[in-house]
Structure 1
Amino acid sequence: MAITHPVTNEDTNIDPEFEAIFSSLPPADTPDEGDVGLALSKERFNAVLIPLVMENYWPLLPDHTAYRVWNHKIPVEGGKIKIRCVMPTPAHADETFPLLIWYHGGGWMFGTLEMDDYHLRIVCVALRISIVNVEYRLAPEHPFPTGLDDSFSALKWAAENQSQLCADINKGFIVGGQSAGANLATIVAHLARDDPFFDEYPLTGQLLQYPPLIHPDAYPETFKPALQSMDRNADAPFLGRVQIKNIYNALNASPTDPRVSPLLFPSHHKLPPAYIQACGLDPLCDEDILYAKLLEASGVPSKLDVYPGLPHGFHLFFPKLTASEKIDHDFQDGIKWLLNARGGPRMDLKGSRSDGSSG
């Protein structure tokens, strides 16, 4: 059965507040393809974007006495990876918290623990939740599926070591990520559902910020009517169709592998509830909306927020936008919803808009 959704003018018209700022900036040059272009893109991501994000969240950091941070290395196939654990300061010796496992964005090729570090510290204290921030190994130096395998290993480690994290997964066990990290979180949720190990440690939520969910070369005929945003937003700021193509090329994995394109998993039944954020000007927007619909059709509680007229990762670049403040507020509300969503009400498939209306 073909799955479609209406596209409204609210989605496709650029947000005027964003446009006013973005149009005043000088045009950015795009690195060439190939090894040199990839190296330059990685340098810019790590040297420019990550410090910018940290600078934006730094003024909002809670008092250092309200939380604890420790780095740790955990064993994975072929080596060790670094994780950063952030835990609220317990009010008493026996206090425990829900647990969130987080994977950073960066197209499976860029990014570090620092990317979301300050934001996660804020969330940790505000919601009284322990967080494990995972530094999975990156492509192309570590070919697919290394990053995914690392992510899954980190999830298992956290489940087995929850006491070290002041966590009790019976209070909530959420897997989440941003962009490529949200892709990893989506896939990990499917893998955990099918792994007997997690019968004892069941996930209770998926927290997904604008995830890529299907390779553009892998659209099934039944999905094509619902997947128009790759063409509609091909030239969107920050992340367009050409950039997405280059990223998938560097990942060098089969487009139809569900571990790349999780929309293609044979079943989405019995997954944990999902909170999804999608950007209206993002080429990935329709994938995110479609995933919410597929989950709903499979009986999985889902909640979707769409930010009309805004591109992929807009809040990372322009944190003072009204919508940027809204997406961070919604992020925390989404976690709260997940902590209470097991068996809860289903979402309106039209999703909610950043202005609170339905579209």
Structure 2
Amino acid sequence: MPLHPEAQEIVSRAAILGQGEAPAVPASAAEMREQFRQVWSMPDDLPSVGGVVDTVFPGPAGDVPIRVYTPEGEGPFPVFVWFHGGGWTIGSLDENEVSCRTVCAGANVVVVSVDYRLAPENPYPAAAEDCYAAVRWVHENPEAVNADPARIAVGGESAGGNLAAVAALKARDLGGPRLALQVLVSPVLGHPDDGRASYRDYSEGYFLSKASMDWFFTTYPRDARDLEDPYLLPLRAKDLSGLPPAVVLGAEYDVLRDEGEDYAEALRAAGVPVDMVRYEGLIHGFFGLLSRELSDSAKAHRRVIDALRAAYAKGDR
């Protein structure tokens, strides 16, 4: 379908401001972060939850900041470990404030949002290690976040979706914990040069460009050998069996669309239950970053809330 009018407005504004496209000479990571900070602001009308606390947990290379959203009630609650996007290079906990609060209240779940180490200062495998460590820490220290260690799910958007898929792989391969669900929103799972049609059709002019993705792939991997590691690119995995059920959400006008759908099909082929949805007319960032500007984001939030409730209910049996 045509680009949604709300998405078109965002794309038009981004073109005027020079957002959403990599500059001819890529800025440094620090400059990219500062540019992003200047054009994004926290909404005033945040969804209500029982409580929000910023704290840290002991990660593999020092303390890792987390933001813990707790619903109303006594608990212990199921827990959803969330990873923000930003090409492993930019982004923070703040941009997902609305979506994390919405899921927390709607699914009656503790959301633990992880501020993992960023590249290029901390290249692969730093982010992947921090995110899996967060999952293990929640499982081993549930009382710290009022969580039920038997009901844990992971999720993320864009690079965060990559890290959620990687955390699920690591949990399968490295001794747990058992996960109830993986939520992959516009995930990075392959490489920009893998030849997928969405990278050709939406390479520029749709908020996230191929040039931007190319640049992110200069900051996170250490060298070309990392690109064959499934803990960096899960589509390189030779075996996807035994992974938790997945919800894979993508936008029609997104360079990352096809790799998300390819991964969903590969999971199905391996016997993993998958709910895959393509949101027609939408662009990258619809779940978290742009959720206040795209009314259809509410449909995606509800899909995830319902999926989490169903997955946790199975864990109660």
Q: For residue 168 of structure 1, give the secondary structure of its aligned residue in structure 2.
A: strand
Q: Do 2:11 and 2:205's aligned partners in 1 also have CA atoms closer than 8 Å?
A: no
Q: In the aligned structure 1, how far is the partner of 2:210 from the partner of 2:135?
A: 31
Counterpart residue number, 1:184: 163
Counterpart of 1:158 in structure 2 is 138
Find the aligned partners of 1:317 and 1:99 in 2 and give their Cα distance: 24
**8 Å contact 1:319–1:325 — kept in the other structure?**
no
1:203 corresponds to which residue? 179
Aligned to 2:90, what secondary structure does the other structure show? coil
- Which residue, 254, 276, 281 being the options, matches 1:304? 276
Deviation at 1:240, TM superposition (A): 1.2
Q: CA deviation at 1:24?
A: 6.7
Aligned mate of 1:333, from 273, 298, 306: 306
1:270 Cα deviation from its structure 2 partner? 0.5
Change (3 A) 1:341 1:320: farther
Contact 2:186 2:248 survives alignment (8 Å): yes
Are the counterparts in 1 of residues 138 and 149 from structure 2 also a CA contact under 8 Å?
no
Cα distance in 1 between the residues matched to 2:251 and 2:281: 7
Q: What's the CA shift for 1:46?
A: 2.6
- Secondary structure of 2:283 counterpart: coil
Q: State the alpha-carbon separation in 2 of the partners of residues 20 and 104 from structure 1.
A: 24
Residue 307 of structure 1 aligns to a residue whose secondary structure is strand
Q: How far is 1:112 from its partner?
A: 1.6
Q: Distance in 2 between matches of 1:33 and 1:60?
A: 36
- Give unpaired runs (5+ residues) of structure 1: 1-9, 343-359
2:3 to 4, 14, 22: 14
What is the identity, as a one-letter code, of the residue corresponding to 2:201?
A: R
- Alpha-carbon contact 1:106-1:180 (below 8 Å) kept: yes
More strand, by proportion: 2
Question: Does residue 100 in structure 1 map to residue 80 in structure 2?
Answer: yes
CA distance in 2, matches of 1:215, 1:318: 26
Name 1:228's counterpart in structure 2: 197
TM-score (norm 1): 0.79
Give the conservation status (yes or no) of the 8 Å contact 1:236–1:283. no
Alpha-carbon offset, residue 68 of structure 1: 2.3
SS of structure 2 residue aligned to 1:239: coil
Counterpart selection for 1:83 from 66, 69, 74: 66
Q: Which amino acid aligns with 2:296?
A: A
How far 1:134 sits from its partner (Å)? 0.7
Q: CA deviation at 1:21?
A: 6.1
Give 1:214's aligned residue: 190
* 1:33 Cα deviation from its structure 2 partner: 5.8
Structure 1 letter corresponding to 2:106: A
Cα distance between partner residues in 2 of 1:162 and 1:313? 30
Post-superposition CA distance 1:242-272 (Å, at most 9, x none): 1110111111343222122101111110100
Query: 1:275 matched to which residue of 2?
Result: 247
- Tell me if structure 1 keeps the 8 A contact 2:107–2:306: no
Determine if contact 1:97/1:128 at 8 Å carries over to the other structure.
yes
Give TM-score scaled by structure 2 length. 0.89
Radius of gyration: which is bigger? 1
Residue number in structure 2 paired with 1:264: 236
Q: How far did residue 79 of structure 1 move?
A: 1.8
* Superposition RMSD in Å: 2.3
Distance 2:174 2:228 in 1: 21
Within the alignment, does 1:39 sit opposite 2:47 as a pair? no
Partner of 1:324 in structure 2?
A: 297
| Matched residue, 1:354 | none
Give CA-to-partner distance per residue, 1:181-208, whole Å, 9 cap, x none: 1100101100110112x1xx31111011
Shift of 1:42: 1.2
240-249 or 328-337, which deviates more: 328-337
How many residues were matched structurally? 309
Conserved 8 A contact 2:71-2:108 = yes
Q: Decide whether aligned partners of structure 1 residues 320 and 216 sit closer, same or farther in structure 2, where only a CA change above 3 A counts.
A: closer
Asked if structure 2 preserves the Cα contact closer than 8 Å seen for 1:72 and 1:84, the reply is yes
Change (3 A) 1:290 1:166: same
Higher relative contact order (CA 8 A, sep 6+): 2
Which residue number corresponds to residue 357 of structure 1?
none
Shift in Å, 1:20: 5.5
Q: Which moved more, 1:138-147 or 1:250-259?
A: 250-259
User: For the residues of structure 2 that align with 1:235 and 1:193, how far apart are their CA atoms?
Assistant: 36
SS in 2 for 1:169: strand
- Are 1:31 and 1:41, in contact at CA under 8 Å, matched by a contact in 2? no
Give the percent of matched residue pairs that are identical in Structure 1 and Structure 2: 32
Cα deviation, residue 67, structure 1: 1.1
Structure-2 separation of matches of 1:124 and 1:20: 29
Tell me, yes or no, if structure 1 residue 61 matches structure 2 residue 47: yes
Q: Return structure 1 stretches of 4+ with deviation > 6 angstroms.
A: none
- The partner residue of 1:147 within 106, 115, 127 is 127
Change (3 A) 1:341 1:302: farther
Instruction: Give the Cα separation in 1 of the matches to 2:108 and 2:83.
Output: 19
Q: CA deviation at 1:320?
A: 4.3
Paired residues of 1:279 and 1:310 also in contact (CA < 8 A) = yes
CA deviation profile, 1:109-131 (whole Å, cap 9, x unmatched)? 11122221343123212221011
Counterpart Cα distance in 1 of 2:241 and 2:10? 43
